[in-house]
Structure 1
Amino acid sequence: MLFSSSSNLPPTQQLLQTADLISQGAEAAIYKAYLHQLPTSGRGIDGAPLEASEPVLLKHRFHKNYRHPSLDASLTRQRIAGEARALMRCMRSGVIVPGIRMVDVNEGVLGIEWIDGKSVRQLLPGGAELEDISESEEVDESDATDPITDYGVSRDALMAMIGVEIAKMHLADIIHGDLTTSNMMLRKQTSDLVLIDFGLAYHSTLVEDKAVDLYVLERAFASTHPDSEPLFAGVLGAYEKRMGKHWLPVKKRLDDVRLRGRKRSMVG
């Protein structure tokens, strides 16, 4: 990826310097940036056409001072490449995920399509939109409107979309590794459900791994959204339908995982 600049910095570093920092965690920083000069082909890594004014999301896995430099560089390359491979495999299998715009394993940067919309966490009761309300403020629920309706879908339809996308992902033997309602977005323009943040994703054919993926999401629903059982039941119903004959082994293992989870909770 090339950028019009007189700087001697590598192109990726130039891009990071012009980007807006959105958030930063222990492992990576997230930026919003714009492409200033297109590749000759005018297409991203995944073959999708690019526009110069198109925003991109940059995930920068920055250097960790507590790790040996050679180990840090090796781990960063592996994780950036692994996330890109998981996204590509999902796209080839029809899972709705952000398109890949650039990959620079040496600089630890993955550039993906910017999704204009809101996370499912923000759209469901108890989500992130309530975290900004101070304790002194009162919410008049009678005046509240369901934000999902602004996207032209119902809550039941949204749960079904989640189940379908997870099933398509699991049928492709991709394990997300961090399924929460924060890592799913409803796109504003098309009202489709997009799975995001594949930083912990990996390839696995094991039924156990798919069941754990579902259990993590079930616990995320329970801990974040009130009265979540009907919501997650809608997710599982759509997942079951899409999985077909592959559902029963996952269901059996999910029941086992739930039992183990309850025992751990009882022990403390």
Structure 2
Amino acid sequence: MEIEKSEQNKIEEKQKENWELINQGAEARIYRTIFYGKQTIIKERFSKKYRHPKLDKILTQKRVSQEVKCICKCRKAGILAPSIYYVDKETNSIFMEDFKDSITLKQFIFNINIESQKDLLNLSQTLREYGKIIANVHNLNIIHGDLTTSNILLKMEKNSLILIDFGLSYISTSFEDKGVDLYVLERAFLSTHPKSESLFQEVLDSYKKIVNSSKQIIQQFEKVRKRGRKRISFG
């Protein structure tokens, strides 16, 4: 058994020789490589040593399955998200489309010239489009789980937005879950882009026009927001 494990590790190390590590978070390592001639992003979920091995395997495989399911469901509905090329169940790795020629919404906002009316108009249109995307995702009962300005990409030449990083995504019809998703995005705006209340409001206004059960979701969002403010106020 130990010999088999050792051989498996050698195979995995050999496979990774041409993988470029570009990021490592709490849940996964992100690599860039060429896969069957295509520029590819590989998201490899690693095991958690503090969990029982069998439980860890079950939970990790479930997260990978949920992520792939949500991405595919979005793509089927016409929402731009990475194409899935391959899923390696042994290493819990997802091989997906790489958008190397794009920038994050975060970068786009930082690059805006506030003195330029054209730049401000482009920003407004982009934020409204982001709101539409979130609404359409919620209409599919998908909770993204990590909506930020870093997890939406802008392809400049096509002026299109691509939603990425579904690592915390899951399926839910709960209005509260959708409200929490919006609250996560609001906190991301306020922590990353100072004095950005108006930017988030543009996203929210666009979202409300398209999302199903808008009134109920916004009510839950306001409740979550109040709870969040109380925690900030009182620690």
Paired residue for 2:104? Answer: 119
**Relative to 1, partners in 2 of residues 1:8 and 1:60: Cα closer, same or farther, differing over 3 Å?**
closer
Paired residue for 1:27? Answer: 27
Cα separation, 1, equivalents of 2:84 and 2:160:
18
Q: Structure 2 length as normaliser, TM-score? A: 0.87
- Once the two structures are TM-superposed, the CA of residue 261 in structure 1 deviates from its matched residue by 1.4
Q: Structure 1 length as normaliser, TM-score? A: 0.77
Q: Which one has the bigger helix percentage?
A: 2
Is 1:165 matched up with 2:133?
yes
**Relative to 1, partners in 2 of residues 1:13 and 1:78: Cα closer, same or farther, differing over 3 Å?**
farther
Cα separation, 2, equivalents of 1:150 and 1:55:
33
What aligned pairs does 1:126-145 form with structure 2 within 5 A after superposition? 145=113
| Bigger mean CA deviation after superposition, 245-254 or 168-177 | 245-254
Paired residue for 2:173? Answer: 205
Is 1:247 matched up with 2:214?
yes
Q: Which runs of 5+ in 1 are unaligned?
A: 1-6, 37-51, 130-143
- Once the two structures are TM-superposed, the CA of residue 145 in structure 1 deviates from its matched residue by 4.4
CA contact (8 A) 1:29 1:62 kept: yes
Cα separation, 2, equivalents of 1:34 and 1:93:
28
Q: How many aligned positions are there?
A: 226
Deviations 1:216-265 (A, max 9, x none): 1011111110221111111011111112x521111111111111112222
Is 1:236 matched up with 2:204?
yes
- Once the two structures are TM-superposed, the CA of residue 35 in structure 1 deviates from its matched residue by 1.6
- Once the two structures are TM-superposed, the CA of residue 70 in structure 1 deviates from its matched residue by 2.1
Cα separation, 1, equivalents of 2:157 and 2:11:
31
**Relative to 1, partners in 2 of residues 1:80 and 1:149: Cα closer, same or farther, differing over 3 Å?**
farther
**Relative to 1, partners in 2 of residues 1:11 and 1:195: Cα closer, same or farther, differing over 3 Å?**
farther
Cα separation, 2, equivalents of 1:210 and 1:8:
41
Q: Which runs of 5+ in 2 are unaligned?
A: 1-6
Identity %: 39
- Selected match of 1:259 from 221, 226, 232: 226
Paired residue for 2:94? Answer: 110
C-alpha RMSD of matched pairs (Å):
2.7
Cα separation, 2, equivalents of 1:34 and 1:195:
22
